[in-house]
Structure 1
Amino acid sequence: MKKMAIVAAMIIFVMVSSFLMNVTSQEDINVLKYMNGDQIHYIEIVTAGALEEVVAEAINNENQSVHYAVLNQPIKKTDHAGNKRNHFYITRSKGQLENFSKLSVYPPNGSSKLYNMQEIQTIDINSAAIGGNELKMMRDLSVMSYNIHHGKSLLGGDSLDTIADLIEASGADIIGLQEIDKGVYRSKFRNQLKYLADRLSMYYVYGENVNFLSGKYGNGILSRYPITYSENLLLPSRREQRGLLRADIDIDGKKVHFLSTHLGLNSAERAKQMGVIQDYTKTLTEEVILVGDFNSSSRDEDIRSISKKMLDTGYAAGQDQQPTLDFPFISGRIDYIFISPTIELKDYRVIKSRASDHYPIEVKLTLP
């Protein structure tokens, strides 16, 4: 009898917990509508970090259902209170957003709730307008991507100063970095990105992905130009947490979205991570430069997929066979710089330095 009472109590506890979780999940959902002028640019659904999938149903002004979508590739962000939140996106490629008046959201195992969408302008139309007599500027830019292997050379020696010298000699204006330590024993507890930024007199932003040996490990961005906004996004990951670091950079009055990433070692994991990155880039309003260590060859589906939307600078320059990871037992191009089609590619090169286990790549660009 006592055993039956314990089992009954456990069943009730599970049912109440499940109910409270569903209620909390529904109360912890925000729906935002981002406007570009008078057009809907994209819709964002923000949920608690535990919700990995939601179903969204769009309702028009006549209270008719006009769109239905299962969203299961969230980007994870940490809010100002330190809470992890999942962000799902509905972009113009997924539906005629002008017909969306309200959104009904169904969490797993929960009943739907109808949401009015909070409206947010993505650009200031007045400041974005260009007068008829204003001269259009063409801006030249040098961009680098570099996996620095936590500042260790191929032989294991400390190479952070060599890396700083290489970046300085290259003349690169913006650098996307991967595998950067912050306060880790193996790299003398240094804040490696700040060290490089101070050496090179650059602005910087860091995106931590992993708590590692009492410190942090992640991606970084260095820039000669001011960084006006940044955010670090956690990508869906099976083993080591991977991330996408965004910086909005003001290049003589021209805003560019600069993204630095480092994808996983498993092909299925990378495919999902790339899908999330592509969804996210559709929410951006300005030209995009995406750099990083993608751990993929140009024949892999994730690279072929992004290359349909953005320009693969190595391929466009005829350097597809130039390795960025080069050993006797393994050699190939796994580091990339992708650019919006409106950006002009002037030059591409691989810098063959053994300051890291990867070669850095650099491109010369002209912004529209």
Structure 2
Amino acid sequence: MKIIRSLLVLAHVFVLTLLAGATLNSVVSPQTFPWLNILSLTFPALMIVNAILIIIWIVLRKKRAILFIALTLLMINPIRRWVNFSPESLEKANLKVLTMNIKGGKYGREEVYNYLKDSGADVIFAQEYASEFNVPGYPHRTNTYYITALNSRTELIHHEKIPTTQNGEAFFADIKINGKMIRFINVYLNPFMFEKSKVKPADDLNKNKQKLRYIAATLIPTFKAHQSEVEIIKNTIKKSPYPVILAGDFNSVPNSYEYYQLSDGLQDAFVEVGRGTSTSFHDYKVPIRIDYIFCSPEIIPVSYRVDRRKKLSDHYPVIAEFKIE
């Protein structure tokens, strides 16, 4: 029994080490060591294993449970990017923003348009919109970019593409909200383009090894491509003369290099006012958050939710409300 407990302690330390390793993405780039970014993908699974081990120590009435709980609490912010229970804000919102990857309308473009029209959003971000993105009731639009688009109910003063160098796309749009100019930045980072048949686990061990090699061979170049995209977008945010709302499909999870870089100096609306889980991509049946809404400190987040009532795409719509002073 003592040997089993010792092995469990070693396993628990190993799990916590991996969890801590994922937070190093804040300082280590994919070009330097991309495996840390892969580690960020496993964060929810590792945290579940960590919670199970803590429960085991509590059941066994071992004092080391206190130590492991304390070490877990040190990672409360990384945890809150996946699961959060913020108190309800007392502020009154005057701006509603929605972002959604609509998958080219493959789930039914008319249904998507009807949903977006009835959402009550003032500004709608779209990714993978295909040939056009014209939601009824939104007279101010951008349809000049290939992957990303924006529809607004209020005056759009200027929009411009951000010159990223990879297969993703980003642009900014300056929109007047309640008399104040806000720069909205729509982001779609380079996609992974997995073949589902090569990702789904098999019964054969050798086949699974091949699948893991395929996954790594797909992830690593994409993470490296993200690095250059992120640097350009981050520079655009820093140079903005107006407060920023950054949203879109980042094709990267919380605690990744992309997350740390793009959220630098901004507020994650989910962390500030979100409740429940942040999972926004449902195609792989595992918890994945790759859709985000961030804002400048002078913009006050009031509410945040992922609308999972209907599947209109392989992404759920993400909706946030803000107070613009």
TM category, shorter: 0.5 to 0.7
Check if 1:144 corresponds to 2:93: no
- Kindly provide the CA deviation profile for residues 125-144 of structure 1, in whole angstroms up to 9, marking residues without a partner as x: xxxxxxxxxxxxx9710001
Distance 1:139 1:207 in 2: 30
Structure 1 stretches of 4+ with a deviation exceeding 4 A read none
Partner residue of 2:295 out of 339, 356, 367:
339
User: Aligned to 1:325, what secondary structure does the other structure show?
Assistant: coil
Return the structure number with greater relative CO, CA threshold 8 A, min gap 6: 2
Deviation of 1:149 (Å): 0.4
Partner residue of 1:356 out of 292, 296, 313:
313
Distance 1:292 1:201, change over 3 A: closer
CA contact (8 A) 1:321 1:332 kept: no
Distance 1:358 1:222 in 2: 18
Letter in 2 for 1:365: F
Q: Which has the higher helix share?
A: 2
Letter in 2 for 1:347: S
| Aligned residue in 2 for 1:270 | 226
CA contact (8 A) 1:234 1:242 kept: no
- Kindly provide the CA deviation profile for residues 135-166 of structure 1, in whole angstroms up to 9, marking residues without a partner as x: xxx9710001110000111xxxxx11111111
Q: Which runs of 5+ in 2 are unaligned?
A: 1-91, 193-221
CA contact (8 A) 1:164 1:200 kept: no
Alignment of 1:317-336 (within 5 A): 317-319=273-275, 321-336=277-292
- Kindly provide the CA deviation profile for residues 298-321 of structure 1, in whole angstroms up to 9, marking residues without a partner as x: 110110222231111122234473
CA contact (8 A) 1:243 1:261 kept: yes
What is the TM-score when the length of structure 2 is the normalising length?
A: 0.59
User: Aligned to 2:129, what secondary structure does the other structure show?
Assistant: strand
Deviation of 1:329 (Å): 4.1
- Kindly provide the CA deviation profile for residues 157-185 of structure 1, in whole angstroms up to 9, marking residues without a partner as x: xx111111111222000011100112xxx
CA contact (8 A) 2:157 2:176 kept: yes
Structure number with bigger Rg: 1
Check if 1:230 corresponds to 2:156: no
User: Aligned to 2:130, what secondary structure does the other structure show?
Assistant: strand
Letter in 2 for 1:175: I
Distance 1:342 1:324 in 2: 26
Alignment of 1:16-95 (within 5 A): none
Paired positions, count: 203
CA contact (8 A) 2:102 2:112 kept: yes
Distance 1:207 1:292, change over 3 A: farther
- Kindly provide the CA deviation profile for residues 283-337 of structure 1, in whole angstroms up to 9, marking residues without a partner as x: 1111101110001111101102222311111222344732100145443110000
- Kindly provide the CA deviation profile for residues 163-218 of structure 1, in whole angstroms up to 9, marking residues without a partner as x: 11111222000011100112xxxxxxxxx213x2xx2343101242xxxxxxxx31
Letter in 1 for 2:181: K
Partner residue of 2:118 out of 162, 169, 176:
169
User: Aligned to 1:260, what secondary structure does the other structure show?
Assistant: strand
Q: Which runs of 5+ in 1 are unaligned?
A: 1-137, 154-158, 183-191, 209-216
CA contact (8 A) 2:163 2:232 kept: no
Deviation of 1:339 (Å): 0.3
